[in-house]
Amino acid sequence: MTAGPRRTIGVIGGSGITTIFGDAATRVHRVATPWGAPSAPLEEGEVGGVRVLFLSRHGTGHTTPPHRINYRANVDALKSLGAEAVVTVSAVGSLREELAPGTFVLPNQFVDFTKQRPTTFFDGGRVYHVSMADPFCPDLLATARTVGAEVGTPFADGKTYVCVEGPRFSTRAESAYFRGFADIIGMTLVPEVTLARERALCYACLAMVTDYDVWAERPVDAKEIGAVMQRNSERMRRLLAALLPRLAHPPTCRCAHALDDAAV
């Protein structure tokens, strides 16, 4: 059976992206989930004729640090309101000289160095082991790659994201270690990406490089990161305005079947 077009796209905005609807009228959803409340009320609007749900990952006024985000409530709230795919925006540090601040990156793999976050919806009862061999939706990645090139904001793709607990930045030794297997570093991808897979959602991360991690012998400066995020935010909004309507096509992936062979 051929899948129909996606009707609802979820967007999780990270640092620098607090809304995507501007002054357009939106509906606001205050959602309760079995895991508590999401980071903020969800905004509903249209982008290019497509229904879009927007959630601010860090809450109103950027008040929730990465290790305290209720990731399960965020993903479950989007799913409960009808999201079929989730596109997220994340600020990251660079572990590679060629990925300079201002570069947009499409990770296709991740390494998890978080320590204390609930990572699954399946804490008891029936057991599921979902495959994360290819953690990001290939359909979303391909479309984002194409649209980025079209609007003059190309992505560096095929990169690995290492997710750390935060909210502190890396030591020099940690940063040098992470360079052995990753290209970018951030604090919010996990468990968001794994929870999306458990809810059978298509998922892609649009990462914005804000700084070189401390391996480059320059301690990370939060004010400098904020300045780069400010410059990148308008570019990302333009990219999302072009990308989101393009995601309404019938999916070519198998993300919706993630649980078919996962149950024990």
Query: Is 211 labeled as catalytic in the residue annotation?
Result: yes
Residue with tokens 């009707």: 7
Radius of gyration, CA atoms only, the chain: 17
Which domains are seen in the chain, by residue range? 8-248 (3.40.50.1580)
Q: What is the tens place of the pLDDT at every residue in 161-217? A: 999 999 999 999 999 999 999 999 999 999 999 999 999 999 999 999 988 998 987
Please write the tens of the pLDDT for every residue from 217-242. Answer: 766 667 777 777 778 888 999 999 99
pLDDT over 90 (residue 121): yes
Which H or E run contains 78?
helix 71-80
Residue 94 reports pLDDT greater than 70:
yes
Spatial separation of the C-alpha atoms in residues 248 and 51, rounded to whole Å:
9
The alpha carbon dihedral of 189, 194, 197, 199 has a sign of: negative
Catalytic residue flag (residue 139) = no
Q: CA-to-CA distance for 171 and 190, rounded, in angstroms?
A: 20
Three-state DSSP class for 116? Answer: coil
Alpha carbons 47 and 252: distance in angstroms, whole number: 22
In DSSP terms, 202 is beta-bridged to 85
Strands (E), 14-103: 27-29, 42-47, 50-56, 85-94
State yes or no: pLDDT of 1 exceeds 70. no
Selection from 82, 31, 91, 75 nearest residue 52 by Cα? 82
CA distance 51 to 196: 19
Give me the DSSP letters along 177-231. HHTTT-SEEESSSTTHHHHHHHTT-EEEEEEEEEEE-GGGSS---HHHHHHHHHH
The single residue of 183, 213, 260, 261 carrying the catalytic annotation is 213
Quick one: tokens of 235?
């570019």
Distance CA 155, CA 152 (A): 10
Which of 66, 76, 201, 78 shows the shortest CA–CA distance to 137? 201
pLDDT in tens, 155-166: 999 999 999 999
Residue 104: beta bridge partners? 155, 208
Tokens 């129909």, residue?
Answer: 4
Q: Determine which one of 76, 157, 211, 260 is catalytic.
A: 211
pLDDT digits (tens, 9 = 90+) for 50-77: 999 999 999 888 889 999 999 999 999 9
